[in-house]
Structure 1
Amino acid sequence: MRGCERAPDDAGDGGFVTAETAVVLPVLVMFATALVWGLLVVAAQIQCVDAARTGARAAARQDPADAVVEIARRAAPDGAEVTVSREPDRVRVAVVARAPVLSGLPFKVREEAVASVEGAGP
């Protein structure tokens, strides 16, 4: 009965799954790490936007410069630099922070907000 015989398993295919896993698994881990880092950078960018806007609103109300910097730093990521500049009719607040997790990279997140000074009418 030749039709009932089973074909022998290919002995040469046994190591392919292990080799493929050894190549694919580190790539997946690196991709997941890059994705998480990217999300952390986006979160830091959003914090910088909020801090710059909050600082610009405080400066537009004519709050003292030290108070504006403190308000902006509370909303900014840890270690962020806050700069306040005043012009006759507007204020500008810039927030610069290092990228989270991989702080050794020369990559910084920066945001700036401008607001009109309250009571600075003609």
Structure 2
Amino acid sequence: MRPQQRPPAGGATCSRPPAGGRERGGVTAELALVLPGVVLLLVVLLTAASAAVTQVRVADAARAGARAAALGETRTAVGDVTHQLAGDGARVRVSESGGYVVVEVSRDLAGPLALAGLVASSSSRALPEPGR
């Protein structure tokens, strides 16, 4: 326990600011300094997640397109399948190489990565079904 302090002689009292009074608003200032960094980190993480999702969609579209082409679907049908999975902005190329049907799908990334001209792309190949 702290010993009690006696007022100075003559009846005058000392008034001290409450404990921590000098640091009032310190948390607000620290938050104002940290918050932009947290927001920037969140934007970077969401942009990376969006790019990853787009890449997975493009890879799935290429795989499904190659399967459809191997089953003997028309190029229009292959394009429909790939656009359904990769989105309307996807570019599709169907070719044959070395006895395989090759489907290449690419799509521009969205958001800030679009400004950099980055593209998600994937290709898949499959052996055509006999009798196609």
TM-score when normalising by structure 2: 0.77
Equivalent residues of 1:99, 1:105 under 8 A apart: no
Q: Describe the SS at the equivalent of 1:47.
A: helix
Q: Deviations over 1:92-116 (max 9, x none)?
A: 1111111122322211111111111
Larger Rg: 2
Task: Measure, in 2, the Cα distance between the counterparts of 1:49 and 1:66.
Answer: 19
Task: Measure, in 1, the Cα distance between the counterparts of 2:80 and 2:70.
Answer: 15
User: How big is the shift at 1:77?
Assistant: 2.8
Cross-structure match for 2:50: 40
Q: Percent identity?
A: 33
Task: Please provide the CA RMSD for this pair.
Answer: 2.2
Q: Deviations over 1:46-96 (max 9, x none)?
A: 111110011000111122222212221111133011111112510111111
Task: Measure, in 1, the Cα distance between the counterparts of 2:31 and 2:99.
Answer: 62
Cross-structure match for 1:13: 23
**Amino acid in structure 1 at the alignment position of 2:51:** V
**Amino acid in structure 2 at the alignment position of 1:111:** S
Q: Describe the SS at the equivalent of 1:111.
A: strand
**Amino acid in structure 1 at the alignment position of 2:40:** M
Cross-structure match for 1:95: 105
TM-score when normalising by structure 1: 0.83
* Structure 2 gaps, min length 5: 6-15
Q: Is 1:115 aligned with 2:115?
A: no
* Structure 1 gaps, min length 5: none
